[in-house]
Structure 1
Amino acid sequence: MSDELLTKLPSSSSINKEISAALSHDKKHPIIAIEVQGQIYDLVKAYDLKNEKINFITTKDTEKVEEIIRHDAAHVLAEAVKSLFPDVQVTIGPVIENGFYYDFSTPKPFHESDLELIEAKMKELIAQDNQFERIIWSKKKAIEHFTSIGELYKVEIIKSIPDDQEISVYKQGEFLDLCRGPHGLSTSYLKYFKLTKLAGAYWRGDSKNEMLQRVYGTAWLTQKRLDDYLYFLEEAAKRDHRKIGKDLHLFHLQDDAPGMVFWHEKGYTIWRIIENYIRDKISQHGYREVKTPTLLGRKLWEASGHWEKFGQNMFTSEVEKEVLALKPMNCPAHVQIFNQGTKSYRDLPLRMAEFGSCHRHEPSGSLHGIMRVRGFTQDDAHIFCTEEQVADETLSFCNLLTEVYKDFGFDNVRIKFSDRPTVRAGDDSVWDKAEEALKNAIALTGLSYDLNPGEGAFYGPKLEFVLKDAMGRDWQLGTLQLDFVLPERLDATYVSPSGQKVRPVMLHRVIIGTFERFIGVLLEHYNGSLPLWLSPIQVCVAGVTNEVDDYAKFVYDEICKAGIRCSIDISPDKIGYKIRNLSGQKIPFIAIVGKAEAEEKEVSVRKFGTQNNSNQKMELMEFIKYIKKESQKRGTN
């Protein structure tokens, strides 16, 4: 392949000569692409470059090569589907973390059995070792071509591209697809892949558009890396919060309330434990808890700017000719409380917290258990402060957030700095000022961060706090956003030392984010076996026979009186069955009581995860004292 490619290389630029020289001798680790100023180019596109400094990407650069391979895989997937199902239209097929997908418009939905068929066709096409060829067309020619073959989604994409922008098409074999690249030299590196699942997705993420069929897959550089990832998926499936929630009777979802959670007693107990913990924690850090309306008038949302940016995602209702919206966030309401009465610089910083119930009209295709819902509650707060107080408040919040995450068992936290998005409120001078202020604040904390360009909130830059779970997965939960815009739009002021009315800085922050998503993360992180302090049932009293029911009830009552969350099983079932059942419910401790325990006022203690012969006899009051002490421990304990 390298020799064939060499014959096509023009010799007009030094960069092409350098590529030619490298291709001619590096056989063990062949060049797949090049990198120029952080941008990856495939070798076909690289020929258009001139004398830039380049970095060769070879098979030693595993992660970069795998991103290219996954792009190749998406194109071969589309080719295979078109070959097997000619009536299907292809839409978009991007690379995602650890894999790729392609969305198809199909008159007949795919079935799981089709994945095997498509995968076999992909292997057949890959074996042909077709070279990827980059072709540049005019916008007119691209529209004509894709119209002629009935690919109307591609035509829609092309029409949205500016007239002065080149249209690049990639070809492998006889298949052509609209694409920017980069791609590998040929399909020869695409050996280790697997199609993983089907899903639905609206065209361009809009629920008003057609529902498409999405085919997910994964691709890797070696068989071992593929096998390791497939094993990871198996383990992740076992930890799926939806399965755990059902098995442990924590919550459920149903079609009558799409994107809304029905919390059962045990699930809501976990919720209340977390809420009370957060309430106590923020109270110690000077926050004042408030409660604001769930329905707010359109005029307020227009004034804040949310109606223009998020109106399509709000649930609305008309009452007496006035349009009201279920709040998708709490910030405008908190400004209304701040605006009541005159505020002085002496009142700042004012830290206003709310466990705010919010609703957003998320597309049904994006809903995912309790991780992505339409009705949710945030541990939300807004800090109104002076510009000089931003650094101290940022440091204080980072310390608070770190304490909370450690208590829940998450020690690995990293920070991303997200700057101005394309769609935003406020002019560039305001954003320059906000970004500089937040960068200066995070610098003073001594914490490191990665840049996350273009991902800020529409009213200000933000810090995103990402934790890593037991499976090595990243979860972005906490945020801190610096906002000069909303105080201006909603006319928030305080009186400065000189007696002038000035705008406060508004810091938007959450720690766990939404209760729903955070509980889902906890369930998957701990595989349903929550630490003792978080467990909805900490102890279950299990009677060996019905002859000891009275003593079992006595033990249960004493444990409950001590403030320990306890249940009791005095059913006629055999003790072995009870233990298996209670262990399946992942209850941390089982207090087994039989005749011997009743006579000695003891319990036989069985800890979750221990073997049958690991029971420990303890005097009842000693056991209660032990559980109370263990319940105070935070972290993973």
Structure 2
Amino acid sequence: MATAKHEDVDYRPLMSSSDEGLDEVEPRWSLTLNPSPWRDRAIVAIFVIQTLLNVLLIASGLYLYSRRGPSNPIFPQLTYSPAQNVLSFNVHKFYEGFGENITIYQKEPSDDVDKAWEDLYSFGISEIPRSTAEKLANKTYPLVGSGGNYIVELDVFHQLHCLNTLRMALSPEYYKKKNLTDLERSFLEPPHARHCLDAIRQSLTCNADIATYVWYWDPRDEMVKPTGNVVHTCKDYDRIVQWAKEHHLHSHFDNKLYVEDDLELAVSFSSLSTREGMSVTRLTPLLIFCQRSSRPTSLNFHSFAPLTRLAHTSATAMADVHPVSSSARPVHLPALENKHADVMANGTKKTKDKKAKVHLDSQHPLELQPPPEYIDHRIKLFDQLKAEYVEFVKQQSREEITITLPDGSERKGTSWETTPMEIASGISKSMPERLVIAKVDDVLWDLERPLEKSCRLELLDFEHQEGSYLFTPLMTIRLTAHIGKQVFWHSSAHVLGEACERHYGCHLCMGPPTEDGFFYEMANTARPVVSTDYPVLEKLADVVIKDRQKFERLVVSKEKLLEMFAYNKYKKYFIETKVPDGTSTTVYRCGPMIDLCVGPHIPHTGRIKAFMLTKNSSSFFLGDANNDSLQRLYGISFPDKKQLSEYKAFLAEAAKRDHRKIGREQELYFFNDLAPGNAFWLPHGTRIYNTLLEHMRGEYYKRGYQEVISPNMYNIKVWETSGHWQNYKDDMFVLDVEKEKWALKPMNCPGHCIIFDSRDRSYKELPIRMAEFGIVHRNEASGALSGLTRVRRFMQDDTHVFCMQSQISQEFNALFDFMQHTYGLFGFEFSLVLSTRPDKFLGTIETWDRAEAQLREALDKQYHGKWQLNPGDGAFYGPKIDVTIRDALNRSFQCATIQLDFQLPERFNLRYRSADDNENVEKPRPVMIHRAILGSLERFIAIVTEHFAGKWPFWISPRQVLVIPVAAPFKDYATEIATKLWDRGLFTDVDNSDNTLPKKIRNGEVAQYNFILVVGENELKERAVNVRNRDDAGTKNQGAMIPLDVVADKLVRLKASKGLLNKLD
């Protein structure tokens, strides 16, 4: 920016002692007053009165000036901004922006240009104390765990974001090639670009720049032209930037967490309305006087202004935090009545609700009126088919049946009449309200669905846990955790689907449960989903819930399904591809919502007592970026409101432990768009990574493993042999090398098969325990990437055991011991599930039965009564044991899977010489056992990070010891100590900075050093250290003074013990 100094500007003082340029003019007349006593008295009186008036005027002016704040009188700051105290003004000359007179911000897109723009506003998110937030013109959101601070952003930084968005939109081809996230990609889509365009329009008209554009004579073109190289009076942007950086929100802000807040604004101007052109066209003197008093004011409008270093600054009024596509719940907004709130989509009256007030955009009513035509079409066809089904049920013969309960007791019932709910009512009057679903002969069953024959019956509540399946049109979801929760959340997804249809008129795609809630994705061409839609959708969901809409199940033929969902190409795809010709499947109805779904579901929507939307994002149909772009809404629900409150508290704690947040704060690792899904490990993160490898390598040595290294890339012939090419190629990175296709390995097992087959093998060599810290690559969708938990490049502690069938049991016992030892180091509890032969399998039943018996024996020996059976869920090539660990927040993570494999030894034709070594007898094949205890090192480190909340056990800590001298004379001694401890294998740092002692100690505590050693005069004399323990509050003020050699020995022993306690013996 070119800055014009004041002396460069041609101006002349209004009051000057110089007479230069003033005409010498003789007076044309003169007035002579004759002396008169009364005239003298009058003149004196007038002079006194005028003096008093002037004094009063000056005093009033000084009073108003002292009360108005630091704003320049030419540019009054009419709404409070936390940054207004830094405002000052200076003179700048703008760039023309043509020819050679351009800046980096105008250049063609490049990494340097992108960075220059981001550097203008990347620090824009700020935190302010509550006392400041109360003065704002608009209510803002609290920061959880910040001691009562709130999140804001000066509007100028949002305006710069908008300007940058429009700049990027000018070069769509360039940014298509960039590895943008889904969120960044959504910024460039027309809805967001149009938002930015109008935001800048509002700002320009709100902060109208009255500097004068001037014209000049261009001798080259021989014409008069306007020029932008003119002088402006500007707010000092550098001071605004300095304020933003001083208040920058450095910590992680969990935008998925909703928190009730009682913040009250000091002054409200709620009567001010938003107009198309400007929000406020005239400010009354009263409003101006209020601003110039000490009381803060509030204006209810949203202004935006594009500001760069090329232009003058505009409004510094505080802007709302800009909502993003994957955003969290918004704050509660002012309530407005909706005239459609009393009519449902199917035309029936809604339940009266005194709280039926939500914030709505006037252009988007609560419900579409009239509702989409497809709703009535579906209902008519459903009613017709339901009537036929009712007649079918009436024709079924009624017989007495026996229902056997889990405790062996029996109940009598009638086929096609008795329901699981009736059985529950006979057991206990309170039981039905607690139930979610039933299980009939191991098949999930609706509670209100009549039983058809004698059966075994289980009644499951929300907390019921076991392995099972949930079938959806697109996928079969294995419910390995809480089956009751999964069914409950699946039903809640239908409630969300109904709300979306009624509000957006969208075409639904699919809505399954997830590990922590549910989602529904849809094609909504009318407008994008934004976080301010959440209260509207939750209001509709609340209406659905209060209506206690029943879930009605109906079996429908493929032909009728295609007719019912003819309007929806996504449902038609599922019907055409997943339902064989001539067969049927089921649909479920609740209210006007009818969905293609196998179920099962809760009895009615009234079972849902707490419902909350958590975030939204974009997705692609079938997860393929070449298909339609969809919008996905996520939610959570519970049968008790208290559980929702507990869930919010859990989210707050989980946010503090987020490994991405801790990774940034402790400088462990980071990610870059130039390598999405690939972690960059920083020195301290690499220490953790290598410590884990060294531990596992040491265990391999003790336990008889042989470490190998296999190639990273293979010709696809290997993957065709293994079967991965047929079933997994879409998830592999494929390359063309010398006119042949190659692929980066997604797993290590084919390479280990090749190593086993590299020479003749004897039974005397078995078992061969082959281990590798193998780097694998998997082509995960960009939208699925998430920190270290879902990456494209990762390392596995992969092991494959080649053994005889008679050795399976002993090898599993050894694996269990290895696993228990490793998880015990981190304090993890774990559970095991044995999955047995599926319907489609490789090999003989006898081989499977023998292998399963050996696994059962091994499990009973090690974990009698502590493992679960999951029949029919084994892989087609062998039974498996899934190992799930639980962290400090009681979350479950599947880390290890131990699998028996009969397939790969056959595919690679692996054999070994048996004891008899008869040439006329075919050599036997080895059994292959796959196992990885840590699984992915990246994912395991993420789990451990959150488990310990960044407070690492000493043996794996990247910052073990910090030595602090109390003053400069003791720096040499501190350095000597650090060197000595480092030489003994301890990660030790020394703080020889000029910070105060309390500051040094505080920095060490924040960085999570396990021990801080403070040294001063006494310690130097005694060759000792003062020890402060991170986890022992008693040592925080002053620890014990211990001889240096003793401390060093204790620290070395503590590291070698690999204990959880941070304590010197």
Tell me, yes or no, whether TM beats 0.5.
yes
Map of 2:553 onto structure 1: 134
* Residue 631, structure 1, aligned to residue 1049, structure 2: no
- CA 1:199–1:604: 2 relative to 1, 3 Å: farther
CA–CA separation in structure 1 for the residues paired with 2:789 and 2:989: 29
Map of 2:938 onto structure 1: 516
CA–CA separation in structure 2 for the residues paired with 1:231 and 1:155: 41
Map of 1:49 onto structure 2: 452
* Residue 322, structure 1, aligned to residue 740, structure 2: yes
Q: Name the amino acid aligned to 2:954.
A: L
* Residue 270, structure 1, aligned to residue 688, structure 2: yes
Contact 1:591 1:603 survives alignment (8 Å): yes
Q: CA deviation at 1:302?
A: 1.3
* Residue 341, structure 1, aligned to residue 759, structure 2: yes
470-479 vs 523-532, which moves further: 470-479
Q: CA deviation at 1:265?
A: 0.5
Map of 1:485 onto structure 2: 903
288-297 vs 136-145, which moves further: 136-145
CA–CA separation in structure 1 for the residues paired with 2:801 and 2:894: 21
CA–CA separation in structure 2 for the residues paired with 1:40 and 1:305: 33
SS in 1 for 2:896: strand
Map of 2:85 onto structure 1: none
* Residue 554, structure 1, aligned to residue 973, structure 2: no
* Residue 255, structure 1, aligned to residue 673, structure 2: yes
Contact 1:106 1:212 survives alignment (8 Å): yes
- CA 1:66–1:340: 2 relative to 1, 3 Å: closer
Gap regions ≥5 residues in structure 1:
1-7
- CA 1:238–1:165: 2 relative to 1, 3 Å: farther
CA–CA separation in structure 2 for the residues paired with 1:56 and 1:491: 48
Q: How does the TM-score come out when normalised to structure 1?
A: 0.90
SS in 1 for 2:955: coil
CA–CA separation in structure 2 for the residues paired with 1:469 and 1:180: 33
- CA 1:541–1:334: 2 relative to 1, 3 Å: same
Q: Name the amino acid aligned to 1:215.
A: L
What fraction of aligned residue pairs are identical, expressed as a percent? Answer: 37
- CA 1:125–1:388: 2 relative to 1, 3 Å: closer
Contact 2:838 2:876 survives alignment (8 Å): yes
Q: Name the amino acid aligned to 1:162.
A: P
Tell me which of 745, 762, 778 is aligned to 1:360: 778
SS in 2 for 1:71: helix
CA–CA separation in structure 2 for the residues paired with 1:426 and 1:581: 61
Tell me which of 580, 590, 603 is aligned to 2:1012: 590
Aligned pairs for 1:81-96 (under 5 A) are 81-86=500-505, 88-96=506-514
Map of 1:113 onto structure 2: 532
Q: CA deviation at 1:550?
A: 1.6
Map of 2:960 onto structure 1: 538
Aligned pairs for 1:397-476 (under 5 A) are 397-410=815-828, 412-420=829-837, 431=848, 434-443=851-860, 445=862, 447=864, 448-453=866-871, 455-457=873-875, 459-476=877-894
Contact 1:532 1:538 survives alignment (8 Å): yes
SS in 2 for 1:581: helix
Tell me which of 714, 718, 722 is aligned to 1:304: 722
State the superposition RMSD in angstroms.
2.9
Residue-pair matches, total = 625
Contact 1:66 1:221 survives alignment (8 Å): no
192-201 vs 51-60, which moves further: 51-60
Q: Name the amino acid aligned to 1:217.
A: G
Q: CA deviation at 1:313?
A: 1.4
Q: CA deviation at 1:43?
A: 4.3
Tell me which of 526, 530, 539 is aligned to 2:948: 526
- CA 1:609–1:204: 2 relative to 1, 3 Å: same
- CA 1:480–1:184: 2 relative to 1, 3 Å: closer
Tell me which of 1039, 1056, 1061 is aligned to 1:615: 1039
Q: Which digits, 9 at most, give the CA deviation of each residue in 1:349-406, with x for residues without a partner?
A: 1111111111111222222211111111111111121221121111111111211221
Q: CA deviation at 1:430?
A: 6.0
Aligned pairs for 1:67-78 (under 5 A) are 67-78=486-497
136-145 vs 285-294, which moves further: 136-145
Aligned pairs for 1:176-191 (under 5 A) are 176-191=594-609
Q: CA deviation at 1:425?
A: 5.8
Q: Which digits, 9 at most, give the CA deviation of each residue in 1:113-137, with x for residues without a partner?
A: 3323322221133233333333443
Contact 1:334 1:352 survives alignment (8 Å): yes
CA–CA separation in structure 2 for the residues paired with 1:61 and 1:434: 30
SS in 2 for 1:257: coil
Q: CA deviation at 1:601?
A: 2.7
SS in 2 for 1:554: helix
CA–CA separation in structure 1 for the residues paired with 2:929 and 2:457: 42
CA–CA separation in structure 1 for the residues paired with 2:845 and 2:791: 33
CA–CA separation in structure 2 for the residues paired with 1:90 and 1:479: 35
Q: CA deviation at 1:251?
A: 0.4
Q: Which digits, 9 at most, give the CA deviation of each residue in 1:410-433, with x for residues without a partner?
A: 2x2221223356787667676556
375-384 vs 264-273, which moves further: 375-384
Q: CA deviation at 1:538?
A: 0.6
Gap regions ≥5 residues in structure 2:
1-389, 400-413, 466-481
Q: CA deviation at 1:408?
A: 2.9
Greater RCO between the two (CA within 8 Å, min separation 6)? 1
- CA 1:543–1:199: 2 relative to 1, 3 Å: farther
Map of 1:396 onto structure 2: 814
Contact 1:409 1:635 survives alignment (8 Å): no
Q: CA deviation at 1:106?
A: 3.0
* Residue 143, structure 1, aligned to residue 562, structure 2: yes
Q: CA deviation at 1:51?
A: 4.7
Q: Name the amino acid aligned to 1:190.
A: I
SS in 1 for 2:917: coil
CA–CA separation in structure 2 for the residues paired with 1:313 and 1:458: 20
CA–CA separation in structure 2 for the residues paired with 1:83 and 1:331: 50
Map of 2:987 onto structure 1: 565
CA–CA separation in structure 2 for the residues paired with 1:362 and 1:194: 29
Q: Name the amino acid aligned to 2:967.
A: T
> Larger strand proportion, structure 1 or 2?
1
Q: Name the amino acid aligned to 2:821.
A: E
CA–CA separation in structure 1 for the residues paired with 2:759 and 2:455: 61
* Residue 39, structure 1, aligned to residue 456, structure 2: no
* Residue 222, structure 1, aligned to residue 629, structure 2: no
CA–CA separation in structure 2 for the residues paired with 1:59 and 1:608: 40
Contact 2:709 2:772 survives alignment (8 Å): yes
CA–CA separation in structure 1 for the residues paired with 2:426 and 2:814: 58
SS in 2 for 1:571: coil
- CA 1:262–1:109: 2 relative to 1, 3 Å: farther
- CA 1:375–1:455: 2 relative to 1, 3 Å: farther
Contact 2:708 2:770 survives alignment (8 Å): yes
Contact 2:439 2:457 survives alignment (8 Å): yes
Q: How does the TM-score come out when normalised to structure 2?
A: 0.55
CA–CA separation in structure 1 for the residues paired with 2:863 and 2:972: 60
285-294 vs 188-197, which moves further: 188-197
Contact 1:409 1:634 survives alignment (8 Å): no
Contact 1:391 1:444 survives alignment (8 Å): no
SS in 1 for 2:1037: helix
SS in 2 for 1:481: strand
Contact 1:589 1:605 survives alignment (8 Å): yes
Contact 1:100 1:218 survives alignment (8 Å): yes
Contact 1:251 1:261 survives alignment (8 Å): yes
- CA 1:184–1:396: 2 relative to 1, 3 Å: closer
SS in 2 for 1:217: strand
CA–CA separation in structure 1 for the residues paired with 2:723 and 2:459: 46
Contact 2:424 2:431 survives alignment (8 Å): no
Q: Name the amino acid aligned to 2:715.
A: G
SS in 2 for 1:488: helix
CA–CA separation in structure 2 for the residues paired with 1:132 and 1:156: 24
- CA 1:202–1:615: 2 relative to 1, 3 Å: farther
